[in-house]
Amino acid sequence: MRRRERLERRAERLTEWAGKRAQKSAQAFDAGRRATEGIPFGQPILVGHHSERRHRAALDRADAGLRKGIEHAQMAESMNSRAAGIERALDRSIYDDDPDALDRLRAKLADLEAQRAAMVEANKAYRKTHRAELAALPSAYERSRMVPHAGYELSNLGGTITKTRERITRLEGTPAPAAAVLSPAAGPIERAGLIIR
């Protein structure tokens, strides 16, 4: 069974259990309400009267019914929330065993690359229009914080793009390109992959 199917079934079970808990909650609230039906609202317990024991027992039953009703309602809400979370995750997740996984991953990769290109262009445009302000800042750190998209945003997005590419390669069944082996004497520019020939 595929992962998506398992999660869909789990969400269905949680929704079904939530419905049962909601039904139990309604029954418990009803039982709590019925426990005090014969007692007028605001009637004090008549201490020493023959009705004292029944009155206290009725109040205890009403209290227990309300507590059970609240407990079942909270569990129903929790289960509905968990089922909704699973369904939201299913809407945006791409599992390897999905029949359209490759197509969706390629579309995701294209979106991520377009997003990165837009971020880079926004930073370039900002630097171009605010050149004097940026030059007045004393440190590179402060300059990097002034641009619309900080360096860590681009790094994180680049990591997501790399992982998506690797996943596409793995699903296609083609081996990933081997990393170039550099000599220990390679300089920092060569290590960064910026070899200019």
Predicted confidence pLDDT, tens digits, the chain (197 residues): 688 899 999 999 999 999 999 999 999 999 999 998 888 888 888 899 888 898 999 999 999 999 999 999 999 999 999 999 999 999 889 988 888 889 999 999 999 999 999 999 998 998 888 888 878 888 877 777 778 888 889 999 999 999 999 999 999 885 555 555 555 555 555 545 444 44
Alpha carbon distance 11, 6 (integer Å) = 9
pLDDT of residue 182: 53
Alpha carbon distance 96, 176 (integer Å) = 17
Token pair of 26, please? 């309604």
Alpha carbon distance 51, 38 (integer Å) = 12
Token pair of 9, please? 């079934």
One-letter amino acid of 136: A
Contact assessment for residue 182 and residue 190, using Cβ atoms and an 8 Å cutoff:
yes
Chain-centre distance for alpha carbon 21:
25
Alpha carbon distance 100, 106 (integer Å) = 10
Please give the torsion angle defined by the CA atoms of residues 18, 19, 20 and 24, in that order, rounded to the nearest 10 degrees.
Answer: 100
Phi-psi region of 54 (alpha: psi -120 to 50; beta: other; left: phi over 0): alpha
Alpha carbon distance 167, 95 (integer Å) = 10
Please give the torsion angle defined by the CA atoms of residues 16, 20, 25 and 26, in that order, rounded to the nearest 10 degrees.
Answer: 100
Alpha carbon distance 7, 95 (integer Å) = 11
Contact assessment for residue 33 and residue 62, using Cβ atoms and an 8 Å cutoff:
yes
